[in-house]
């Protein structure tokens, strides 16, 4: 056979050793700084104003209409999500590395009651909230990188959510909202504990790139 097409294989009975890194939680180092991904770096640098088309925060603003409103339950449900998901407690340090904070202040959802306001006045105030929250540029070194508030209208409660895409993507936002609605409606809310963190995944992919298997 022509050497060009020869496939070198280990001798019969010789195992082929492949360096394959494993993905496992590192709970002891969970709050140690770790690198940004390439996409995160782009979002972080782009908002700085260094570039002509910069000084814009990549984020999502959305509104959810709720048929009924219980401020204590809305507050408690969001607090559970903050405590459950590490990246809702994350910041970007000045050295360009991200970090999951061990503790953060209890988040307070601001509420505005417009249930008895005139229709035109209520619409104007909701539009003002919408314009402000949909054009936010969060500071990545300051927690939180999101804002949640509610507005009481004669038709029900309007939930406003503005969240930075540095630490969450659009698919994850859909999951987050789904979990939030479940927690709000469940009289005995519960989320199963998470062992793996985003930090574990980022460092795992870095080890993958350095492996012989890669």
pLDDT score at 14: 59
State how far the Cα of 20 lies from the Cα of 23, in Å rounded to an integer: 10
What is the predicted pLDDT for the residue at 125?
95
Average pLDDT, the chain: 89
pLDDT at residue 15, as a whole number: 59
**Looking at the DSSP assignment, which residues form a beta bridge with residue 113?**
152
pLDDT band at 68 (very low <50, low <70, confident <90, very high): low
Note the pLDDT of residue 187.
84
- Check residue 104 and give its pLDDT: 97
The percentage of residues in the chain with a pLDDT greater than 90, rounded to a whole number, is 68
Report the distance separating Cα 151 and Cα 178, nearest Å.
Answer: 20
pLDDT tens string 21-48? 789 999 999 999 999 999 999 999 888 7
- Measured CA to CA, the distance from residue 66 to residue 179 in angstroms comes to 15
Model's pTM, two decimal places?
0.85
Mean pLDDT of 191-207: 94
Q: How many CA atoms lie within 13 A of 102 on its CB side?
A: 5
> What own/partner pairs with CB < 8 Å and gap ≥ 24 does 166-172 have?
166/40, 166/43, 166/44, 166/58, 166/90, 166/92, 166/138, 166/140, 167/40, 167/87, 167/88, 167/90, 167/98, 167/198, 168/87, 168/88, 170/60
Contact 108, 72 (CB under 8 A): no
156 vs 1, which has greater pLDDT? 156
Give the chain's count of helices (H) and strands (E).
5, 7
- Helices 71-84 and 170-185: angle between axes, nearest 10 degrees: 130
Q: Give burial (CB, 10 Å; 0-12/13-18/19+) of 210.
A: exposed
- Predicted local confidence at residue 5, as pLDDT: 45
Burial tier of 211 (Cβ tally within 10 Å: 0-12, 13-18, 19+): exposed
| pLDDT-derived band at 11, boundaries 50, 70, 90 | low
49 falls in which pLDDT band (50, 70, 90)?
A: confident
Rounded Cα–Cα distance for residues 101 and 91 (Å): 8
**C-beta separation of 48 from 58 below 8 A:** no
């Amino acid at each position: 056979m022509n050497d060009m097409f020869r496939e070198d294989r280990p001798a019969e009975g010789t195992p082929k050793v492949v360096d394959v890194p494993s993905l496992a939680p590192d709970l002891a180092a969970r709050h140690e700084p770790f690198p940004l991904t390439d996409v995160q770096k782009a979002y972080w640098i782009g908002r700085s104003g260094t570039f002509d088309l910069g000084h814009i925060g990549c984020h999502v603003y959305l509104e959810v209409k709720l048929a009924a409103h219980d401020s204590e339950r809305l507050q408690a449900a969001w607090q559970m999500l903050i405590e459950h998901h590490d990246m809702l407690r994350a910041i970007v340090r000045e050295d360009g590395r991200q970090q999951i904070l061990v503790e953060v202040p209890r988040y307070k959802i601001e509420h505005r009651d417009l249930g008895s306001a005139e229709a035109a006045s209520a619409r104007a105030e909701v539009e003002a909230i919408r314009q402000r929250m949909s054009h936010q540029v969060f500071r990545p070194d300051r927690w939180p990188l999101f804002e949640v508030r509610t507005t009481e209208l004669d038709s029900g409660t309007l939930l406003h959510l503005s969240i930075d895409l540095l630490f969450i993507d659009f698919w994850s936002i859909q999951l987050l909202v789904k979990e939030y609605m479940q927690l709000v409606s469940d009289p005995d809310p519960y989320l199963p504990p998470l062992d793996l963190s985003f930090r574990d995944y980022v460092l795992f992919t870095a080890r993958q790139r350095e492996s012989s298997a890669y």
